[in-house]
Chain A
Amino acid sequence: AQRVTQPEKLLSVFKGAPVELKCNYSYSGSPELFWYVQYSRQRLQLLLRHISRESIKGFTADLNKGETSFHLKKPFAQEEDSAMYYCALKGTGFQKLVFGTGTRLLVSP
């Protein structure tokens, strides 16, 4: 069964501090991992996906198959990064997208 765990409900940091949002997954095959973000009063939107290996808004995430993790990182947090972040996993083939419970990131000035 596919499972995504985000252990932190809330992560509070100061502007300019490094940020790491944790995501661990459980899946026996080769998963596709995503990070979605929901800013206040906005729709849920895709932030990045592991296969594209992009850096979006300064965020990066590396898939670590050994540790079954896909942590989201940013070296210097900005106030506009405050939002709800969801890690999601899709199995091989036409499998459903499974979301973690989300982590609220709060960046204070």
Chain B
Amino acid sequence: KAGVTQTPRYLIKTRGQQVTLSCSPISGHRSVSWYQQTPGQGLQFLFEYFSETQRNKGNFPGRFSGRQFSNSRSEMNVSTLELGDSALYLCASGYQQGYEQYFGPGTRLTVT
């Protein structure tokens, strides 16, 4: 089985811009979660989607949003980028909520 894929792998944006990151889960997986990983804060949960519905949300401002499509692929969007949004964004998929999660390689976002 192919693993979780994330595109793009690297991204450089300017403050104030917006960005969209994409995640393709493992075939058959319906749950997709997003995390932000930074040296200072570690892994922080952003949101979780299951069957196109957001089931859980972390403590991030409304500038962070996401969605899941009928094929379980997911996107997350960050608007009005700030320098502090520079991070590795990880996506993880699972067969169902609460099941083992498989992580993608991440998208490295740098905001200048």
Interface residues of A, Cβ cutoff 8 Å to B = 32, 43-46, 49, 86, 90, 93-102
Judging by beta carbons under 8 Å apart, are A97 and B45 in contact? yes
CA distance A17 to B17 in the complex (A): 50
Question: Once the chains are docked, how many angstroms separate the CA of A94 from the CA of B99?
Answer: 10
> Any chain A CB within 8 A of the CB of B3?
yes
A96 contacts across to B, CB distance below 8 A: 33, 45, 48, 56, 58
Q: Shortest distance in angstroms between B52's beta carbon and chain A's nearest beta carbon?
A: 15
CA distance A46 to B105 in the complex (A): 14
Within 8 A of A (CB), among B82-108: 90, 92, 97-98, 100-106
Set of chain B residues within 8 Å of A46, measured between Cβ atoms: 100-101
Number of interface residues of B (CB under 8 A): 24
Structural contact, B98 and A101, CB atoms closer than 8 A: no
By beta carbon, the residue of chain A nearest B33 is A97
- Interface contact B56-A94, CB-CB below 8 Å: yes
A66 to chain B: closest CB distance in Å? 25
B42 & A102 in contact (Cβ 8 Å cutoff): yes
A93 vs B35: C-alpha distance in the bound complex, in angstroms?
A: 20
- 8 smallest beta-carbon distances between A and B, as pairs: A101-B42, A99-B43, A44-B103, A96-B56, A94-B97, A96-B45, A43-B103, A46-B100
Q: Is B63 an interface residue (CB 8 A)?
A: no
